[in-house]
């Protein structure tokens, strides 16, 4: 499988390049560390998954985190599933508050 580098093309995405390989999406700022898949819990994107940089670039004695972002789930939740996810999220928040 040929691996090609591409620019992230999503609103809210960083300008760092990424590549798709057998291990998933890898931010080129951090090639050694595969991107993490994280779940969003916002009103607009409940339980929508996205890639986040596994680690930033080494700069001096520290790390410069690149804020790499790319959607894993290409479609936003919609319809009855959207409302069910929001309701479940709110229910979990209520339980944590008790």
What is the predicted pLDDT for the residue at 60?
A: 67
C-alpha neighbours within 13 Å on the C-beta side of residue 64: 7
Does residue 31 contact residue 20 with C-beta atoms inside 8 Å? Answer: no
- Helix or strand holding residue 92 (H, E): helix 79-97
Average pLDDT, the chain: 70
Residues 71-85: what's their mean pLDDT?
Answer: 88
Confidence of residue 5 (pLDDT cuts 50, 70, 90): very low
Does residue 28 contact residue 16 with C-beta atoms inside 8 Å? Answer: yes
What is the predicted pLDDT for the residue at 65?
A: 63
Q: How many domains is the chain built from?
A: 1
72 vs 49: CA distance, rounded Å: 5
Torsion of CA 38, 43, 45, 46, to 10 degrees: 60
Domain holding 10, by residue range, is 5-97
What is the predicted pLDDT for the residue at 36?
A: 79
């Amino acid at each position: 499988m040929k691996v090609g580098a591409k620019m992230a093309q999503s609103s809210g995405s960083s300008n760092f390049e990424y590549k798709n390989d057998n291990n998933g999406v890898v931010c080129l700022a951090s090639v050694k560390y595969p991107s993490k898949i994280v779940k969003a819990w916002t009103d607009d994107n409940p339980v929508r998954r996205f890639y986040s940089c596994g680690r930033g670039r080494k700069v001096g004695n520290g790390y410069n985190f690149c804020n790499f972002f790319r959607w894993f789930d290409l479609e936003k939740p919609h319809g009855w599933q959207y409302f069910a996810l929001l309701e479940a999220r709110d229910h979990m928040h209520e339980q944590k508050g008790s």
